[in-house]
Structure 1
Amino acid sequence: MVDIITLTVAEGPSAFGIQDYVWVSLSMLVLIGVFVWKKVPGMIVAGLDSKIAEIKQQLDEAKALRAEAEALRDEYAAKIAGAEKDAEAMMENAGREAEAILTKAEADSEAMVARRKRMAEDKIAAAEREAVDAVRASAANAAAAASRSLIAERHDSAADKALADEVIASL
């Protein structure tokens, strides 16, 4: 007795005589058609365009703030240069005073010259320290105010974490 084995190809489910893969293709076409009909790509593009515009605005504001900070830096650098010129002028005046004292009284001139030079240098050092401290304090206050407003307006917790990491790394 000979057995004949017949193999049948398993067919997937079908409805109305249409195979399942055709139904999936038709469903995808209908879905894509609905997306195009409802203008979903246009909405996505409009959303991306608004994000781009917002980012450009933030970049422009950042450029303006940077220019302002650079102007402040240049202003304070000029103030420091002026303080250095004043210090040089004070040194010259102290030297002239020392020469006048030397010619006036030779007996006590060495003691008096040393005392006057020391006083002048202390005054110069104090004036330099005050000028530098004032410039640093003003720059720090301006930078802190600008940073505070920028951070308050544009940074979320993730950006704050990244900024903190960057500041720590720069120290």
Structure 2
Amino acid sequence: MLNPGYPEFWVMISFLLFMGLLIWKGVPGIIGRALDARANAIRTELDEARRLRDEAQQLLADYQRKAREAEDEAKSIIDAAKREAESLAAETRRSLAEQVERRTKSAEEKIARAEAQAISDVRAAAVDLAVKASEGILKAKMAGEAGVSLAETAIRDLKGKLN
């Protein structure tokens, strides 16, 4: 089978000696510890990765919740602003209507006062004209001192009765 003259024999002997030396020096234990350490490091990294993923998911959930809250708050602010704008518009319309009504009433009162003043002025002018006309007629018909005195008395009485 294996003859010491064949190179395969010496390769097998070398291989067995090499394996024996590795076992004698404790290389399999060192390799086992190294693999265990590496497995522990990988396990630690996986645990850390899981923890970080959980934290990231928690942060994402928090940000999504805050975004929804901010959106709801923005909607409520917009709704409040719309209600306030509508209320302000209604108040402005009501105020404008009241102001127009007051100005219309004030204008009507001014017109009524001007009309009353005009009527009063026309009456006063008519009275003055009537008095002057009466004075002229009475002076023409009445002659002398008695006529003048009677005309002046009548004119004074007439002015007091008309005004």
TM-score by length of 1: 0.47
Of structures 1 and 2, the one scoring higher in RCO (CA 8 A, sep 6+) is: 1
TM-score (norm 2): 0.50
Larger Rg: 2
